[in-house]
């Protein structure tokens, strides 16, 4: 097998042929050139016109040749499949249209409606216990309480307060100050208000069935709001990093 053509890992057509031959013994230079003429691959060209193939080009060729050999797919279908792959989709094995990868539409790792059921554990923490468990500074706790991010339930702190305190401590380690964290409280209050608008008509009916529908709607909308918020932050950061 000949050496890789350049320090960037580009290969000449002879190198590509040598890589492919062990798995596709009928492949030829003429066939590779034909697939290029059909627009299925697009290797780089040097100033003198020589083809230079990347490792991505090599894997693309493997896919094309495997589709022809194993599935007897015509070039039109292979071209459509490659277009789907280039757009981040999954080609359909049944001849239908391409599909969004299941992982992209998955909500694994995000809270479900069940996550918003009231906790059955009646946790009641003193201020010192909250500070110790969350590894939070007393002055910082005073500040976030002033901004309404954490509040006591009666004379104690509950499990929700602990979860918020732990998150605040971790964010503070990045230099994020309580006054900046207040924006999260404002956004959360608006989301709560929106949920209330939806469920208040159910709650006013007072009958057990309506109360149950309201409880279910609250939990489902809570999970959806967190999912939307997470997706928007992810999309925003991706756009920022791509600039």
- Look at residues 103, 134, 165 and tell me which one is the last residue of a structural domain: 103
User: Is residue 50 within 8 Å of 12, Cβ to Cβ?
Assistant: yes
pLDDT of residue 8: 59
Task: State the Cα–Cα distance between residues 164 and 154, nearest whole angstrom.
Answer: 17
Domain with 217 in it: 180-243
Q: Does some domain include residue 118?
A: no
In this predicted model, which residue has the larger pLDDT, 102 or 64? 64
* Percentage of residues in the chain having pLDDT higher than 70: 90
User: Is residue 142 within 8 Å of 172, Cβ to Cβ?
Assistant: no
Pick from 61, 53, 54, 52: which is nearest to 23 by CA?
Answer: 61
Mean pLDDT calculated for residue range 6-32 = 89
Q: Does some domain include residue 113?
A: no
- Look at residues 156, 176, 196 and tell me which one is the last residue of a structural domain: 176
Q: What is the tally of structural domains in the chain?
A: 3
What are the pLDDT digits (tens) for 164-200? 999 999 999 999 999 999 999 999 999 999 999 999 9
State whether 23 and 40 are in the same domain.
yes
Pick from 134, 142, 194: which is nearest to 160 by CA?
Answer: 134
Domain of residue 64, CATH code = 1.10.1660.10
Binned at pLDDT 50, 70 and 90, residue 99 comes out as confident
Pick from 74, 86, 90: which is nearest to 38 by CA?
Answer: 74
CA distances from 159 to 16, 166, 170 (A): 60, 11, 17
Pick from 235, 227, 240: which is nearest to 112 by CA?
Answer: 227
Task: State the Cα–Cα distance between residues 68 and 63, nearest whole angstrom.
Answer: 9
Mean pLDDT calculated for residue range 82-87 = 90
Neighbours of 51 (CB within 10 A): 22
State whether 17 and 99 are in the same domain.
yes
User: Is residue 203 within 8 Å of 210, Cβ to Cβ?
Assistant: yes
Has residue 6 got a pLDDT over 60? no
């Amino acid at each position: 097998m000949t050496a890789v053509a350049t320090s960037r890992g580009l290969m000449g057509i002879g190198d590509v042929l040598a890589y492919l031959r062990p798995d596709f013994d009928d492949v030829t230079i003429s066939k590779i050139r034909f697939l290029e003429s059909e627009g299925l691959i697009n290797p780089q060209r040097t100033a003198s016109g020589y083809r230079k193939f990347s490792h991505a080009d090599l894997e693309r060729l493997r896919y094309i040749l495997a589709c022809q050999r194993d599935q007897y797919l015509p070039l039109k279908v292979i071209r459509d499949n490659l277009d789907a792959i280039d757009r981040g989709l999954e080609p359909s094995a049944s001849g239908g249209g391409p599909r969004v990868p299941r992982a992209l539409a998955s909500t694994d790792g995000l809270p479900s409606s069940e996550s918003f059921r009231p906790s059955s554990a009646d946790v009641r923490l003193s201020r010192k216990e909250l500070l110790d468990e969350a590894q939070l500074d007393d002055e910082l706790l005073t500040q976030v309480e002033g901004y309404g991010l954490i509040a006591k339930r009666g004379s104690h702190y509950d499990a929700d307060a602990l979860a918020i305190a732990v998150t605040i401590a971790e964010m503070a380690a990045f230099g994020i100050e309580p006054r900046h964290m207040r924006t999260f409280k404002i956004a959360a209050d608006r989301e709560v208000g929106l949920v209330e608008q939806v469920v208040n008509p159910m709650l006013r009916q007072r009958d057990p069935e309506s109360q149950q529908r309201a409880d279910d709607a609250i939990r489902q909308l809570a999970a959806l709001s967190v999912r939307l918020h997470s997706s928007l932050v992810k999309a925003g950061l991706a756009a920022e990093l791509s600039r």
